[in-house]
Structure 1
Amino acid sequence: MSRTPSLRKLRYFIAVAESGRVTQAAVDLNVSQSSITTGVREIEEELGVKLFERQAQGMLLTREGTRFLHRVRHIFQAVDEAFDSTRMHSPTLTGSLELAMSYTVAGYFLPPLLAQFQRRYPGVSVKLHEASRTDIQQGLQSERFDLAIVLVSNLESDTPLDHHLLIRSPRRLWVGSHHPLLQQRQVRLADVAREPYIMLNVDEAESTAMRYWAPSGLSPQVLFSTSSVEAVRSLVANGSGISILSDMVYRPWSLEGRRIEHIDLSDPIPTMDVGLAWDAGRGLTSTAQAFHDALIEMMAG
Structure 2
Amino acid sequence: MAAEDLSISQSSISAAIDAMEREIGYDIFVRTPAKGVKPTALGGEVLQAVRRFLEQSRHFEAEVQSVDGQATGAVRIGCYATAAPSFLPLILKSFSENHPGISIMLLEGSMDAAAKFLSEGDVDLVFSYDETVEEGQGFVPLFSAPPYALIPQEHPLSGQSDVSYEELCSLPMVLLDLPRTRAYFANMFTKRGLTPNIVHSTRSSEIVRALVSGGFGFSILNILPPGYGGSNQPFSILPIRDTVDTPVFGIVTSELSRRPQIVSAFIEHCISLRESGVFSDLVVQ
Q: Is TM more than 0.5 here? A: yes
Work out the CA distance in 2 between the residues paired with 1:273 and 1:249: 17
| CA pair 115-223 structure 1, distance change in 2 beyond 3 A | same
| CA pair 274-183 structure 1, distance change in 2 beyond 3 A | closer
| CA pair 183-124 structure 1, distance change in 2 beyond 3 A | closer
Work out the CA distance in 2 between the residues paired with 1:253 and 1:186: 14
Greater shift, 288-297 or 91-100, is seen at: 91-100
| CA pair 198-128 structure 1, distance change in 2 beyond 3 A | same
2:256 is the counterpart of 1:281: yes
| CA pair 281-223 structure 1, distance change in 2 beyond 3 A | same
Cα deviation code 1:54-86 (max 9, x no counterpart): xxxxxxxxxxxxxxxxxxxxxxxxxxxxxxxxx
2:207 is the counterpart of 1:231: yes
2:132 to 152, 155, 158: 155
Q: CA deviation at 1:223?
A: 0.9
Match of 1:196 in 2: 172
2:121 is the counterpart of 1:128: no
Which entry has the higher C-alpha Rg, 1 or 2?
A: 2
Identity of aligned residues (%): 24
Give secondary structure in 1 for the equivalent of 2:104. strand
Cα deviation code 1:111-166 (max 9, x no counterpart): 111111111111112111112323333332332211111122x325x533101100
Match of 1:220 in 2: 196
Q: CA deviation at 1:103?
A: 0.7
Give secondary structure in 1 for the equivalent of 2:121. coil
Work out the CA distance in 1 between the residues paired with 2:107 and 2:162: 42
- Is the Cα contact below 8 Å between 2:147 and 2:221 reproduced in 1? yes
TM (norm. structure 1) is 0.62
Work out the CA distance in 1 between the residues paired with 2:190 and 2:257: 37
| CA pair 134-176 structure 1, distance change in 2 beyond 3 A | closer
Cα deviation code 1:14-39 (max 9, x no counterpart): xxxxxxxxxxxxxxxxxxxxxxxxxx
2:67 is the counterpart of 1:92: no
Amino acid at match of 2:107: H
| CA pair 135-262 structure 1, distance change in 2 beyond 3 A | closer
Q: CA deviation at 1:209?
A: 0.7
Give secondary structure in 2 for the equivalent of 1:270. coil
Give secondary structure in 2 for the equivalent of 1:109. helix
| CA pair 165-235 structure 1, distance change in 2 beyond 3 A | same
| CA pair 247-127 structure 1, distance change in 2 beyond 3 A | closer
Greater shift, 258-267 or 121-130, is seen at: 258-267
Q: CA deviation at 1:226?
A: 0.9
Give secondary structure in 2 for the equivalent of 1:143. coil
Match of 1:179 in 2: 155
Give secondary structure in 1 for the equivalent of 2:256. coil
Query: Of the two structures, which has the highest relative contact order with CA contacts closer than 8 Å and spacing of 6 or more?
Result: 2
Q: Matches of residues 1-301 of structure 1 in structure 2 within 5 Å?
A: 92-152=70-130, 154-155=131-132, 158-182=134-158, 187-202=163-178, 204-249=180-225, 251=228, 258-268=233-243, 270-301=245-276
For structure 1, the residue ranges without an aligned partner over 5 or more in a row are: 1-89
TM (norm. structure 2) is 0.65
Give secondary structure in 2 for the equivalent of 1:104. coil
- Is the Cα contact below 8 Å between 1:176 and 1:237 reproduced in 2? yes
Aligned length: 208
Q: CA deviation at 1:194?
A: 2.5
| CA pair 187-205 structure 1, distance change in 2 beyond 3 A | same
